[in-house]
Structure 1
Amino acid sequence: MPETPQLPTVAGRPARVVSLVYNDASADSRVQKTAATLRAAGADARIVAISRESAGHAPGPGTVGAGVPVYRVHDLDLTRLLPGLTRGWRRWRGRNPDGTTPVSSVPEPATGAAPSTASAPPAVGGEAAPPAVHPAQAVAVDLWMRLYQTTRLGYWWLGAVRAARDVAPDVVHANDANSLVPALLTTAGTPGRVVYDSHELWRRRNTRQDRWLAPAVDALVEALGTRLAAGVITVSPSIVDWLQRRYRLADPPTLVRNIPTARQVPPREGGRLRAMAGLGEDDKVVSYTGSITTGRGLEETVDALALLGDDVHLVLLGYGAPQYVTRLLVRARQAGVADRMHLVGAVPSELVPQTLADADVAVVYVRPICLSYRFSLPNKLFESIHAGLPIVAADLPDTAEVVRRYGVGEVFDARSPAELAEAIRAVLADPGEYRRAAGAASASLTWEGEAERMLGLYARVLGARADR
């Protein structure tokens, strides 16, 4: 494998890069890979994230991934700071004081009903809010959650700026628009520059449609950030085009897709998915990997499973909010396939291809309920290709283009469970060619190939300050 190109030094030292991300960075493979690549290219790269003590990610310094330094800023977590208030708040909203929701409060969807795509706002401590029982209560909960989440973000911004300024970075890598404000504040009045990495189409992501202030602020921040940034990166060709047109950028954003690092396709017999689900070699395994949540076509996939033979099983590798998982299990029971849907938990991102290897086909399904989803290019597509699996993918522009170009599977109408079932049936009937195509495609679809473009952008950004 060729050596990683080296970035210019600044004033005789490695370039200092701070990557800002509004999560704990423990499971964000893109953020980890970006920082690791910059370090391999000679930069002093580190991550500034947010703490999540309930998951074991305390405030202060640490490492993630392959030893990448991370500093986690204190989170404004009222569950920890004001436990008595939190317990009272939960009782008032119909929860148990420990934060769990009584099973009786989780509604069962009506048979044949279309799945809801609305996401409940997170509650104190990050829980999802159950349905309110009174209109006044619903308004109070909504106003409180908006205020709390806005204050929580602002609190992280302040901590992130302090942590980043201590490093005196040459470049601040802003992961998504919610980190643009602290990135711009960190570099204000300094020679430092900002690189904006848009992991999705931020202004058209899946959010509540009854809001007006937050989208207006998002639009203002991203418009200002893209114009002030020294470089813009994003994850799919469609988002590249949208950002360039919307903000009238002289140069298109740099395309850096979120693809796993180069590796050999694991042997099928080395996979773990069947063992995790308790399935045998005679079973047909349809895999799903990623967040178990709304907008991922899981309801339609359950409906499609009911149209397939009794030997076909759906195995979900990932995690989701308990309320959503409960509703999905209810739907599976109503469809008569509860015994053929298996939730096996999550594994670290670097182990996903190895784990998936003994599946028969991977479903890559994002419902186009917002423009960001329509333009997405999911990690699970590339993880499944790296596992050597045939793909059954929703007919969305960027996803379908990859599937068709490399011949790794079939594309189906994203609105039709019947078409999904037919595509799965077609692949299961003759998977060999698709498996061979996936193995060949994995050799050229690598993070190292994507990172070359990112490092080229960084070389240009650092060029003005580089040693001559």
Structure 2
Amino acid sequence: MTDLPSLLILTFSPIRSDPRVIKQVELFKDKYRVTTCAYGAAPDGVAEHFALPDDSRGWPSDKVGLISRQYGKVYDGLPAVQAARAVLPKGRFDIILANDLNTLPLALELEPVLGVHSDLHEFAPREKEDNLKWRLFIAPFMRWLCSRYLPAAASVTSVSQGIADEYLKDYGTHTRVVTNAAPYAEGFVRPVGEKVRLIHSAAGQRYRKLENFIEAMKEAPEWLSLDMIVMPNEPDYVAELKAKASTVPSIRFRDPVPYRQLVATLSEYDVSVVFLPPTNFNLKNALPNKFFEAVQARLGLIVGPSPAMVGLVEEYGLGAITEDFSAASLRKTLLSLTPEIIDGWKQAADAAARPLSAESQVVVWQEAIARIAGRDRTATD
């Protein structure tokens, strides 16, 4: 019996809480001999796991190296790269699936027998372009990584068509799309109750302008409530939000739930508000996890005029699109809600749950890895 090809899934993220990477593990664990390298404990079902120290950063902090543009030195100095080099054997894996741009040089350096697939979760050169220091010092490093290493990847995927188009335009990299769709979940449509219950989850980062939600919900009618799940990425900012919301009784902050419980938790609500002001290129082209999780939870959706989300909302009749990204526009949309309208959106989400599930998307990864795996096949019968 032929041994399964070996596949290393490499990420500088906490793997058990990274929905995109966990989908890769679930997809490949029975088709390949899967090894993972990431922060945290091993995901279920892998053959081997290399845990990185939680405090080993995967992004640059070498100011002198960045200013002097010694980018090879900057990359070599990344603590996550150093930690991974210390434990990962060179030349042992047939294929490496490298998540995000910061793992790609390391994946190539590890000399997989057959090749590297690069899954780019963002358009890296413009990821934090709203920050002047980032634009001046980090963006050139990201552009260097793209120019130097993307041509060596056997294949590339990203999360939305806008981001894929940008990689092709700027670097000539043909990039296929695997959206952040959630796995299909059996569910049913819960009719709207006496109150319309809204939910929004987000990273607690200032550039996301979460204060728009508080402004939109000021003096909201009693039939409307909003729960917010905000991760403490920027603790001072999150504290500011909670202070501002303390005088808005229609808003409640709730703790995050484990990913496996998320869709079931969301199903308690009526509408997910996925409202991302385009403060940088990636937010403008975002098609986030929360959009697809809302579909699997059979919720309606309210989105801003973000191109990738607008297309799906219109195609499947999933919800409403605000006129712009202002708090006033969001408030206007929220006040127009009725139980009848929302129930129609929920029915549409139920109909779209299978075509918009992860199972319809991950075939692109399956095909890409299979093409790499097939490189060494000889014509034997």
Q: TM-score range by the shorter chain?
A: 0.7 to 0.9
RMSD over equivalenced CA pairs, Å: 3.0
1:36 aligned to 2:36?
A: no
Residue deviations 1:183-236 (CA, integer Å, cap 9, x gap): 12112xx53411110111111112532242321111111122221100001010
CA contact (8 A) 2:188 2:350 kept: no
1:26 counterpart residue number: 16
CA contact (8 A) 2:35 2:49 kept: yes
CA contact (8 A) 2:125 2:140 kept: no
1:203 counterpart residue number: 125
Could you list the runs of 5+ residues in structure 2 that have no partner in the other structure?
A: 68-73
Structure 1 residue 45: deviation in Å?
A: 1.6
Alignment of structure 1 residues 228-243 onto 2, 5 Å: 228-243=152-167
Moved more, 347-356 or 458-467: 458-467
Identity %: 21
Q: Which of 328, 331, 342 is residue 241 of structure 2 equivalent to? A: 328
- Give the aligned residue type for 1:158: Q
- Give the aligned residue type for 1:28: D
Residue deviations 1:240-280 (CA, integer Å, cap 9, x gap): 1111111123xx312111111122125539xxxxxxxxxx9
CA contact (8 A) 1:176 1:197 kept: yes
Distance across 2 between alignment mates of 1:356 and 1:292: 19
2:369 counterpart residue number: 458
2:184 counterpart residue number: 262
- Give the aligned residue type for 1:63: A
Structure 1 residue 408: deviation in Å?
A: 0.3
Structure 1 residue 166: deviation in Å?
A: 5.7
Instruction: From the superposition, tell whether residues 329 and 248 of structure 1 become closer, same or farther in structure 2 (CA, over 3 Å).
Output: same
Instruction: From the superposition, tell whether residues 14 and 414 of structure 1 become closer, same or farther in structure 2 (CA, over 3 Å).
Output: farther
Distance across 1 between alignment mates of 2:377 and 2:13: 31
Distance across 2 between alignment mates of 1:191 and 1:390: 46
Residue deviations 1:371-402 (CA, integer Å, cap 9, x gap): 11101101000001111111000101101111
CA contact (8 A) 2:276 2:325 kept: no
Could you list the runs of 5+ residues in structure 1 that have no partner in the other structure?
A: 1-8, 51-56, 79-120, 124-138, 144-149, 270-279
Alignment of structure 1 residues 41-60 onto 2, 5 Å: 42-50=31-39, 57=40
SS in 1 for 2:226: strand
CA contact (8 A) 2:295 2:353 kept: yes
Structure 1 residue 319: deviation in Å?
A: 2.3
Alignment of structure 1 residues 1-400 onto 2, 5 Å: 12-40=2-30, 42-50=31-39, 57=40, 62-65=41-44, 69-76=48-55, 154-165=78-89, 168-187=92-111, 191-207=113-129, 208-211=131-134, 212-249=136-173, 252-266=174-188, 268=190, 282-306=194-218, 308-321=220-233, 322-333=235-246, 336-337=247-248, 339-400=249-310
Distance across 2 between alignment mates of 1:221 and 1:151: 9
CA contact (8 A) 1:286 1:360 kept: yes
- Give the aligned residue type for 1:329: K
Structure 1 residue 167: deviation in Å?
A: 7.3
Distance across 1 between alignment mates of 2:3 and 2:367: 19
Instruction: From the superposition, tell whether residues 153 and 397 of structure 1 become closer, same or farther in structure 2 (CA, over 3 Å).
Output: farther
Distance across 1 between alignment mates of 2:47 and 2:179: 21
1:437 counterpart residue number: 348
Distance across 1 between alignment mates of 2:21 and 2:87: 17
Structure 1 residue 352: deviation in Å?
A: 1.3
Structure 1 residue 65: deviation in Å?
A: 4.8
SS in 2 for 1:330: helix
CA contact (8 A) 2:90 2:110 kept: no
Instruction: From the superposition, tell whether residues 29 and 66 of structure 1 become closer, same or farther in structure 2 (CA, over 3 Å).
Output: farther
CA contact (8 A) 2:25 2:46 kept: no
Larger radius of gyration: 1
Residue deviations 1:271-306 (CA, integer Å, cap 9, x gap): xxxxxxxxx953321101232333334211111111
Residue deviations 1:66-117 (CA, integer Å, cap 9, x gap): 6675321235569xxxxxxxxxxxxxxxxxxxxxxxxxxxxxxxxxxxxxxx
- Give the aligned residue type for 2:116: V
- Please report the TM-score for the alignment, with normalisation by the length of structure 1: 0.72
Instruction: From the superposition, tell whether residues 69 and 392 of structure 1 become closer, same or farther in structure 2 (CA, over 3 Å).
Output: farther
Instruction: From the superposition, tell whether residues 76 and 408 of structure 1 become closer, same or farther in structure 2 (CA, over 3 Å).
Output: closer
CA contact (8 A) 2:217 2:331 kept: yes
